Amino acid sequence: MNHRGLFSKIFSLFLLLFISYPLYSQLVNIEEQRRNIKPGLQGLIDFSFDINQNTRFLSRFSNTISLQYTYKQHTVLVLNDITILRLRDPNQNIDIINKNFQHIRYNYSFRSRQWLIYELFIQRQQNKIKYIQYRFLTGTGLRIRLLNNDKIKLFIAPLAMYEKEILSDSAATQTITLKGDFYISASLKFNEHIGLSYVTYYQPALYNLSQQPNFERIKDFRLASETELNFEIIKDHIKFSIDLNLNYDSKPPAEIANYPLFYSLNNKLSFKF
């Protein structure tokens, strides 16, 4: 079989296995972007642009940058993600997806306490579908390693963060809030072929800096969870995964008040060579 025929079969199989795309993530899963700690620079840079003309014109642009640099006890993680999926017809342009975020996270691993890691992060985010015109976050805290062996890894992190948010809703809502940023991250290897990864973020509002009249401490929160089951079909070459994402906002913008929960289920087949 020639290379073109093989590629065509692999691409067709990928399309059949692809179920859905996560359109509405609101909290960003940083854990899935971390790499094993080793000296130097590791990373991924990806650009894509697609157009499709049938009864309507559909265009999609995406850019993903994931870089991690480690020097001794210091690790810096830099992320960028832009996705625009636009439907055009003679009357209007409709953005099915229009979101982007940029994130920088610094980690310092204590030599005397190898289970303890200091974290500092900055993030900018926009999501047109979720009416997020602008969201800026900065936070800090500790990442605590509870378990770390060949079978299971478990981390918890009690962080605090500052958030400034401007919405594109009818009220042009603006808030400045101090929040908690707590997460638990775990990975489990059942055997050399099957593994499970899990992360949940919980961000409750703690203090109102913008004097919003409808502020509710703790009752105003965001929750995000991602669970991924991995099957390594051929070690280091072919992997199949099932990924479930849940995002809940206790106080979404008024325009989408009836949709506090968004979720997606994704199947993915990966080839590495």
Q: Residue 22: its pLDDT value, please?
A: 35
Average pLDDT by consecutive 10-residue portion of the chain (273 residues)?
42 34 49 74 88 84 91 93 86 84 94 90 91 94 93 95 93 93 94 93 95 90 94 87 93 87 88 68
- Residues contacting residue 239 through CB under 8 Å, at least 6 positions apart: 230, 231, 232, 233, 269, 270, 272
Question: Which residue ranges make up each domain of the chain?
Answer: 3-271
Q: Residue 16: its pLDDT value, please?
A: 34
| 8 Å CB contact between 158 and 192 | no
- Tell me the pLDDT tens digit for each residue of 183-206: 999 999 999 899 999 999 999 999
Q: Residue 186: its pLDDT value, please?
A: 95
Q: Which CATH number is correct for 3-271, 3.40.50.720, 2.40.160.40, 3.30.230.10, 3.20.20.70?
A: 2.40.160.40
How far apart CA 173 and CA 47 sit, in angstroms, is: 33
Q: Residue 21: its pLDDT value, please?
A: 35
| Dihedral of the alpha carbons of 61, 247, 245, 21, in degrees to the nearest 10 | -30
How far apart CA 237 and CA 22 sit, in angstroms, is: 25
Q: Residue 220: its pLDDT value, please?
A: 95
Phi then psi for residue 33, to 5 deg, are: -90, -15
| 8 Å CB contact between 32 and 199 | yes
Q: Is the dihedral of CA 233, 236, 239, 242 positive or negative?
A: positive
Q: Residue 32: its pLDDT value, please?
A: 65
Q: Residue 27: its pLDDT value, please?
A: 59
